[in-house]
Structure formats: C-alpha cells, structure tokens
C-alpha cells in the first residue's frame, strides 16, 4: 500500500467517525509508513489522539491499552500525538497522563503524586537543555555548566532510585542534546571542547542509570539527532517552553513505541529474509554463483553491509531464516562455499528454497519453530512477494526493500522489531537451541509413537528456587511467552526481583536438557501464600519444550512442595488471550477442579490429596531451598 493510499483511508475513517470502531485497521494502514513520512504520521497522530480510549476498548476489548505518564521540565503536550500514532502502529492503545509544567521532581519523589496514583506501565521523564541552562549564570564558563549538570544528574539519579523502590512500571529517561547555540556562544575552541566533554560525561552518567536500576531505560538522543533532525525550535522554546523539537519528539515516540511493544509481549523472534536482491545482488538461477553481487563493487559492499547486520542480529538471539524462490542445492552451495559471503548456512536456523508461495513457506517455518506467524518479520525486495504476504498473513511484519541495497540496513532496523530491554544468556544461545529443536523434530519422525520418542529423548528437568541471577530471564519469559502463559501477566525485572525477595512469594525456575543439549531456563512458576492456600499467579513455559512432560513435572513438584509446607490447597487461574487457548484445560487435565469459569477467566483448585508423579521418562532434580 502506498503512503498516499494509507493517508486517504485514514482520512476517510476520521471524517466518518470510524477510527474507534475500525481501530485494528489503523495498524495495517500505518504498518508500511516510513519514518520520513512525517506529515502523514503527524496528521494521523492528531486524529488518533482525539479518540477516547474507552470508546476503542468498548469496540475492541482485546486491545492492549497502556497508561503512560508524561512528565519533565518543559511543555510536553506535543508528545501525545506522535506517541498515540506510534502505539497504534503496533496495535496498542495509549492512555496518556500529562503532568503539569516542570513538575517532574514532585511527580517522581512524592509517592502520593498524581503520577503514581495513575499506576502507569510506563513513565516518560523528558529532560531538555533548558533544565541545565536555566540555572547557569550569565556570563558562564564550561565549569559552570559542568557543576549544574552534575547536580541535575545526581537529582535524577535519586528520583530514579525512588521510582525503583516502588517496583512498578518502567521509567524512561533520555540524554540531553547540546544545542549549537550554546557551544557557539563560546568564542574559543578550547572552551567549546571543554563544554562538549563535560556535557557528554554527564550524559554518560545518565546512560549508566540503566545498570543501577532494572526498571529504568534511557533513550540516547544522539542516535536520533544523527539522522539530521533538529534538537529544538527557538520559537517554541522561548514562547511555549517546549524545549525539544516536534521532530525530535516524533523520533523519541517511535523508540517508546518499540519499548511498549516489547513490554506487552509483542517483540518479534524470527527474521525471514529473501535471498535474490536482498541478501545478494542478482538472481542466482540466472547469474550463477560467480555472477551474484556479494562483496565486490559498490553494490556488493552494500549487500555485505546488510549481511553483517543480519548476522549481528542473529548473534543476539534473532532466529534468522532464508525463504527464497530457488533450488535448494545451489543456495546451499553459495552459503557454504562462496568466498564473498558473510552469512553462512550455520547462521540460519532454517534455509527454505523452493518454488512454493512464500506465505506458505512462512506458515510452515513458524510451525517448525513452534512460534506464531505474528513473531515473524519478512524482508524482501519484491513488491509482489511483499504484497502477497501482507494479504495472506497480515500478522507478519513486512519490511519494504527495493533495488537500492544501500538502504537495506536502515529499513531493516527502522522499526526495532527485535528490541528488548536487556539480553540474557538464553537470548544469545537461542538460534543454537532452535537448530537443536529442529534436529529433535527430525528425531521424532523416526519413531512410531510419541512415548518411544520421549523415552529415547532423555528429558531432564531441574526445578529450583529462582535467584537474583535469574531475574532478567524470568521477566523476559513473562514478556515474550504467549502460548503457555496461563494469566498473561507481564512482569518487569524489578517486579520479579521484588517477588524473589518477598517471604510470602514463591518463584520457581525450570531448566531442561536432553540428549541433544541444554535448553536453558525455559519456564517459571510464580506463586504466593495466603494462610493455608498457595495461589499460582502465573505458569510460563517456552514453546520450545511443550509436550515433553516438563509442565507436568514442574506442577507435580509445586503441589508436593505446597503439601509438604502445610498448605491445604493450591489455586490456579487462567486468563484467556488471543494465543493461550491451548492451555485453557491445563489445570483440569492435571487434577484441579473448576471453581469459577466465565469464559474469559477461570479459577481452579487442587486439594493436594492425589498428586500425580512426574512422567516416568523425566529425570527430575529439585532444589527448592
């Protein structure tokens, strides 16, 4: 769909008053709008920001709505429209809570403030240059700026610590851009260099706050300004106290949209790339291995840069697959033997090369990897292939590439499809583990029965009390796991850390291994005790290890632990989502009786009289502390 067509359809929805009733269409209309189409995004943001979120939810109750509190030093109302449109691009709904001018200190330090009362999932505290220069004397020297900035960093660090104590939501800060008008006001270059050094050192301390607090994120504005957008607008700054430009706010909003997508479990897992015209130049079937553009020449260098970026993503846990209309053997030959290739066959979890429609291959790829098609990002230079995938698989994120390979990297990274708050060791090992999983599937196909397969697989399960070193991975499971997620409760690292430290809470982690290797930390059970009842707040399990007896083993351990520590019963809940229907009957199938069930939510109870033993094919290790 062209940008013009998207604009016309959005305008039609706006004029006919159907934006709320047709809200899911907005995501599809905006999906392919590039960041440089600022005018369309600005207009769409203005229309969407006028919607009443409750009206959208009445029409579409399954829409994920996030409360976002906005505070800072300057006037920030202009952020709401771009933030609204960026949320809509990812199928999310914004509930903004805008603070008064320059109220960030009170907002973040007073636990009774309106900001905390709103219980936001995300808090945006925007920092701007006026925060520093409003307190610098006139005339001033670089050391004056250094002193003020250091004091402000100390203040912000204290506010971040105060926020972290509450353990609720994610606080987003930002580095502060240095306006040219400030450096140019110094006439000697040595002073300018001293100012630049002091400014960057202070910003570096802001960036390091993410290491001190698990629920703090810092957006680095330098990467946004590097794209050529202005940091501020002199008129808006002087007359309206809006010290960050509308262009910078739009770029910032895009980053927050990526963060919100991650926090609601919508991060992507699979990058499926075309080969001809995408990974290399030319058509392998026509040009042969010696004729494709890989590394030599200026276009070859552009394809090499794209390959390096794809490999960089794979090294951080993105599951990279090739989906190409080609014969498989020539493709494998190029990936294994071509001297100019950066990507090799081992960098892909799956290489699919045939002449079937690509949307069919993508469905099969998702099934093989045991992920939903909405976890897939598809990059192709062919308008026909992209259009077909968009029509047949609207849940797949499609990246528009064309015959200019120099733009491939920018377009691949523009929407931060694989962004996450923090990488874990399991992330980096994910491609290897998924390749092992495909070997397991081939192994399964050699058996006549699933029980024979499981007996030979050698499943080992370790159930243990989670510690501080497991916080990030358990939080990530709650954010990224959608299928085996009983209540879809999303937790930030600070939330998990608080539970681990709570004497009335229980956080169990699950690690598994088998004859093909270690699967890592693949599941968690979160529970808390009230009198003699143990309540299961959530049960999470990676889709990689479904149906091997892991879930039954872990539940058996939990039930026995509850009985042995004096509990009279265990209560578990199920909350329906778009993806977890396969676990609706998990508790009833494992000895729980139904207490309530209204279709959307259900509560189940186990009386701890008859507790099933772990499956015989599982080797169990318990370390409950």
pLDDT of residue 418: 92
- The fold for domain 270-413 equals Rossmann fold (3.40.50)
- Which single residue is written with the structure tokens 């509560």? 603
pTM: 0.80
- Which single residue is written with the structure tokens 């910032």? 252
In angstroms, the CA 514 to CA 550 distance is 11
- Residue ranges covered by each domain of the chain: 1-61, 63-263, 270-413, 438-623
Name the token pair of 288.
């042969």
Phi, psi of 369 (to 5 degrees): -85, -5
pLDDT of residue 488: 86
pLDDT of residue 4: 62
Q: What torsion, rounded to 10 degrees, do the Cα atoms 84, 87, 91, 92 define?
A: -90
In angstroms, the CA 396 to CA 385 distance is 13
| Sequence-separated (6 or more) residues with CB below 8 Å from residue 165 | none
pLDDT of residue 103: 93
In angstroms, the CA 46 to CA 78 distance is 10
- Domain 63-263's class? alpha beta
39 CB neighbour count, 10 Å cutoff: 10
**DSSP bridge partners of 510:** 463, 523
Nearest partner of 156 among 114, 112, 122, 125, judged by Cα: 125
pLDDT of residue 167: 62
Residues in the chain with pLDDT < 70?
A: 1-4, 32, 34-36, 167, 441-442, 444-448
In angstroms, the CA 50 to CA 8 distance is 18
**Contact between residue 535 and residue 571 where contact means Cβ atoms under 8 Å apart:** yes
**Predicted confidence (pLDDT) per residue in 296-311, tens digit:** 888 999 999 999 999 9
In this chain, the answer to whether the domains covering 270-413 and 438-623 adopt an identical fold is: no
Instruction: Judge: domain 438-623, CATH 3.40.630.30.
Output: yes
């Amino acid at each position: 769909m062209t940008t013009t067509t998207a604009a016309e359809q959005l305008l039609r929805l706006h004029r006919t008053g159907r934006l709320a009733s047709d809200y899911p269409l907005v995501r599809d209309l905006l999906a392919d709008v590039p960041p440089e189409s600022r005018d369309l995004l600005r207009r769409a943001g203005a229309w969407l920001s006028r919607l009443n979120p409750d009206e959208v939810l009445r029409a579409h109750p399954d829409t994920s709505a996030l409360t976002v509190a906005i505070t800072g030093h300057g006037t920030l109302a202009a952020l709401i429209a771009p933030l609204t449109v960026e949320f809509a691009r990812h199928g999310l709904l914004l509930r903004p809570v805008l603070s008064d001018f320059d109220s960030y200190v009170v907002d973040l330090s007073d636990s009774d403030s309106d900001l905390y009362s709103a219980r936001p999932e995300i808090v945006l505290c925007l920092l701007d240059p006026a925060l520093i220069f409003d307190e610098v004397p006139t005339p001033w020297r670089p050391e004056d700026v250094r002193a003020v900035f250091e004091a402000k960093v100390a203040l912000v660090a204290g506010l971040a610590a105060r926020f972290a104590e509450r353990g609720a939501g994610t606080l987003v800060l930002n580095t502060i851009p240095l306006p040219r008008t400030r450096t140019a006001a110094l006439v000697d270059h040595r002073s300018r260099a001293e100012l630049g050094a002091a400014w960057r050192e202070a910003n570096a301390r802001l960036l390091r706050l993410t290491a001190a607090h698990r629920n703090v994120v810092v957006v680095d504005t330098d990467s946004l300004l590097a794209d050529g957008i202005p940091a501020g607008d002199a008129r808006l700054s002087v007359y309206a106290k809006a010290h960050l430009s509308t262009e910078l706010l739009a770029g910032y909003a895009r980053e927050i949209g990526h963060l919100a997508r991650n926090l609601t479990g919508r991060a992507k897992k699979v990058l499926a790339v075309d080969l001809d015209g995408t990974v290399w130049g030319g058509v392998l079937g026509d040009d042969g291995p010696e004729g494709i553009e890989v590394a030599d020449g200026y276009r070859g260098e552009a394809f090499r840069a794209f390959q390096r970026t794809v490999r960089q993503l794979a090294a951080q846990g993105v599951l990279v697959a090739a989906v190409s209309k080609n014969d498989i053997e020539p493709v494998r030959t190029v990936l294994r033997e071509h001297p100019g290739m950066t990507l090799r066959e081992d960098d892909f979890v799956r290489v699919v090369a045939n002449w079937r429609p690509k949307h069919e291959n993508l469905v099969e790829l998702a099934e093989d990897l045991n992920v939903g098609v909405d976890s897939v990002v598809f990059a192709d230079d062919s308008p026909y292939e992209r259009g077909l995938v968009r029509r047949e698989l609207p849940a797949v994120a499609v990246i528009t590439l064309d015959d200019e390979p120099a733009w491939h990297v920018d377009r691949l990274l523009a929407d931060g499809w694989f962004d996450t708050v923090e990488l874990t060791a399991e992330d980096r090992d994910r491609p290897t583990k998924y390749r092992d999983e495909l070997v397991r599937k081939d192994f399964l196909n050699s058996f006549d029965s699933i029980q024979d397969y499981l007996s030979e697989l050698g499943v080992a399960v370790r159930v243990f009390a989670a510690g501080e070193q497991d916080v990030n991975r358990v939080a990530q499971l709650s954010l990224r796991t959608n299928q085996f997620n009983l209540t879809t409760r999303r937790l930030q690292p600070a939330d998990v850390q608080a539970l681990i430290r709570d004497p009335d809470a229980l956080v169990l982690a699950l690690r598994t291994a088998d004859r093909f290797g270690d699967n890592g930390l693949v599941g968690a059970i979160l529970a808390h005790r009230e009198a003699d009842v143990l309540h299961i707040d959530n049960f999470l399990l990676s889709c990689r290890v479904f149906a091997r007896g892991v879930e039954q083993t872990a539940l058996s351990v939990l039930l026995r632990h509850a009985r042995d520590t004096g509990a009279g019963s265990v209560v578990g809940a199920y909350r329906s989502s778009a993806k977890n229907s396969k676990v609706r009957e998990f508790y009833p199938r494992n000895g729980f009786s139904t207490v309530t069930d209204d279709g959307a939510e259900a509560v189940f109870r186990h009386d701890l009289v008859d507790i099933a033993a772990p499956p015989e094919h599982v080797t169990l290790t318990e370390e409950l502390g």
